Amino acid sequence: MACKAELLDLLGDICRTDQWHSAAAAARDGKHDASYRQRAGWEAAARTAVHAGRSVIEGAASSVRPEEATAAGKLLQVMDGTPPFPEL
């Protein structure tokens, strides 16, 4: 089940990313504002989608397969520890 563990790691990366929010907050100019806001919206939607699956991830964290349980536990820590996006 290494594939499932890798998928859970990928979901952690998605949850943790704030590239577009950080870029938009740093730029704060009207020239790129619409483009940054659109991409920041995608980023927020992706994080929301990861959080929507929390109950499934919690189930995976109690798996008898150690690689799956470890990856799911790491993802839950990422979900709980990721700060909110910066204000735009």
Return the domain boundaries, the chain. Answer: 2-81
Question: How far, in whole angstroms, is CA 14 from its chain's centroid?
Answer: 3
Tokens of 28: 């704060």
The answer to whether the pTM exceeds 0.85 is no
- Per-residue pLDDT, 68: 92
Mean pLDDT over 3-15 rounds to 92
Q: 10-63, pLDDT tens digit by residue?
A: 999 999 998 888 888 777 666 667 777 888 889 999 999 999 999 999 999 999
Query: And the tokens for 79?
Result: 């979900």
> In whole angstroms, what is the distance from residue 45 CA to residue 86 CA?
15
Judge whether residue 1 has pLDDT over 80. Answer: no
Question: For residue 67, is pLDDT > 60?
Answer: yes
Task: Find, among 81, 21, 71, 23, the residue nearest to 46 by Cα.
Answer: 21
8 Å CB contact between 4 and 68: yes
